Amino acid sequence: MKEFSHHILDIANNSIRGKATSIQLSITENKATNQFIFQLKDNGCGIPKAILDEIKNPFTTTRKTRKVGLGIPMLDATCRQCDGRLTIETEVGKGTIIRGTMALNHIDRPPMGNIASTLRTLLTSHENLNIEAIYKVDQHSFIVSTLELKEILGEVSLSTPEVVQWLYTYIEENITALYNSE
Amino acid sequence: MTIQDIINGLNLHVVTGEEHLNQKIETGYVGDLLSVVMGKANPDSVWVTVQSHVNIIAVATLVDIRCIIVSEGFSVDADAIQKAIEEEIVVLTSPQSSYEIVKQLGQLGI
């Protein structure tokens, strides 16, 4: 995938297809250690051992419509090509933690892409899903969560067009500010 | 044009797929970002790439590409060769750059 945000959307959609009601997502850039780290933790159905053992193989998929699944294999290949790795911890019935690393300064590390749009989509498209996203750049961080937003909005739905529009700008400005902070 | 014609014209090494070299190739695609290849390449293309892991076989299967040329002298991963055999995909290698390979494919008339 050309942009990293597409990978985030892809793995979050895996969680949603796996019946998760809670997703914690973190993206961390650390210049001091030259690390790019991302993690997604969900409370979905988990991955059975037989599938987990083969999950980085693109011919493993739970889809019925085609015989190959490339989301995880492509993300795994991208991490390895960027001097990092992808690890998956999972327990059937409890949930899954996907964690990946890459060298922050690796020339082949995909650009972030429109992460504000990705987060906005995830936060507003699923009424019964709690999502918390933490974006860290060195010592600065930005947290946005459906719980916090719902508290502020009260009776107003997160999927209200005005809210959706505002949320994009809110996320975009806060993430941009992380990169501009000293 | 058949895969055999391409092998003869470009002096390529056959990694796997000896028995499928009479298949027709209509067009070609070059690219290393698998998601883009998945979305843009045409079926029955010859695909030129520097990638050599098992994911290329999965992409070829999805797009219905029957022939992959791995460029720059990269060696093809063992699990990729195994899957290529199962999926009946021809995998060829060349020490040349993707650019040089595509240029010669063009001269052959692809």
Question: What's the confidence (pLDDT) of residue A56?
Answer: 86
Question: What's the confidence (pLDDT) of residue A6?
Answer: 95
Structure pTM? Answer: 0.84
Question: What's the confidence (pLDDT) of residue B30?
Answer: 98
- What residue of A is the nearest CA neighbor of B51? A77
The answer for B17, left when phi > 0, alpha when psi is -120 to 50, beta otherwise, is left
Residue with tokens 């911890």: A89
Question: What's the confidence (pLDDT) of residue A67?
Answer: 57
**pLDDT band, residue B77 (cuts 50/70/90):** very high
Question: What's the confidence (pLDDT) of residue A177?
Answer: 96
ipTM of the complex: 0.70
Contact check, Cβ <8 Å, A73/B59: no
What's the mean pLDDT in B51-69? 94
Asked whether residue B3 carries a pLDDT value surpassing 60, the answer given is: yes
Residue with tokens 């990092």: A84
How many H helices and E strands in chain B? 5, 5
Question: What's the confidence (pLDDT) of residue A54?
Answer: 85
Residue spans of chain A under pLDDT 70: 61-68
State the CB neighbour count (10 A cutoff) for residue B32: 15
CB pairs under 8 A between A and B: 38
- Encoding tokens for residue B54? 């098992």
Distance CA B26, CA B107 (A): 14
| Averaged pLDDT of chain B | 96
Question: What's the confidence (pLDDT) of residue A62?
Answer: 66
What's the mean pLDDT in B20-42? 94
Q: Which residues of B touch chain A, with CB atoms under 8 Å apart? A: 33-36, 38, 51, 53-55, 57-59, 61-62, 79, 83
Question: What's the confidence (pLDDT) of residue A41?
Answer: 98
Distance CA A59, CA B58 (A): 7
Contacts of A77 in chain B (CB under 8 A): 34, 51, 53, 55
